Amino acid sequence: MKNNNGKIMIAALAVLLGGCASMSEEECMVADWHALGFEDGAAGAQIAQLSRRRQACAEYSVRPDTEAYRAGRSEGLRLYCTEQRGFRSGRAGQNYSGVCPTELEGPFLSAYQVGRDIFMAQHAVDEVATAINSREEEREQLLDDITDKSARLVSDEATRDERVELLADIARMKQRHGEIDVELDNLHQELALRQAEYNQVEVNSPYR
């Protein structure tokens, strides 16, 4: 493959940039369509990326070399459609758009699913952790509000009607504070369970 090292570097950059198909006039005029195809294939882009590149260059009356692009993309897909890349894609929560050729798709998908399982297990942990943080913040805010309202309750400026309202507010907030304590106990138990599930899925993974 011609200038393969340079193409691999281009492919790595494409992964980081998300395979953007926007092209300037100069880029369209000097485009190496084989290299662009390789870039898109190595990034796991669908063939529709060629249409987006075609549309970008049509403004400058430049037509892509479709044959060269497709050939380069096929080469790039062989860099993308590997077990390790499948695992990393799944682990990162990326979607798979069915671009791998039949002979490479089986191993890719198997590894992708392993990575995806770890991603979902981690997501479950993160969701519970986020819920815990939210409840803890709510609890701290309630304590601050209870302190403020209690200070107002005993102040000389508070009217009788205001004190009645303050007492009701304080009672309501204390009740909610107790509810949050129960919710936090349950969430911490769930977090331990989700963390154990995540650890087990990660340990069972044949990929790192």
Burial class (CB in 10 A: 0-12, 13-18, 19+), 137: exposed
pLDDT class for 7, splitting at 50, 70, 90?
very low
Please spell the DSSP secondary structure of 12-70, one letter per residue.
HHHHHHT------HHHHHT--HHHHHHHHHHTT--THHHHHHHHHHHTTT----HHHHH
How many percent of the chain have pLDDT more than 70? Answer: 90
pLDDT at 70: 97
Does the pLDDT at position 12 exceed 70? Answer: no
pLDDT of residue 22: 81
Q: Is there a contact between 86 and 112 (Cβ–Cβ < 8 Å)? A: yes
All domains of the chain in start order, with CATH:
4-112 (no CATH), 116-204 (1.10.287)
Going 77 to 78 to 81 to 85, the CA torsion angle's sign is: negative
Average pLDDT on 9-38 reads 71
Q: Give the confidence band of 21 by pLDDT, cuts at 50, 70, 90.
A: low
Whole-model pTM above 0.85? no
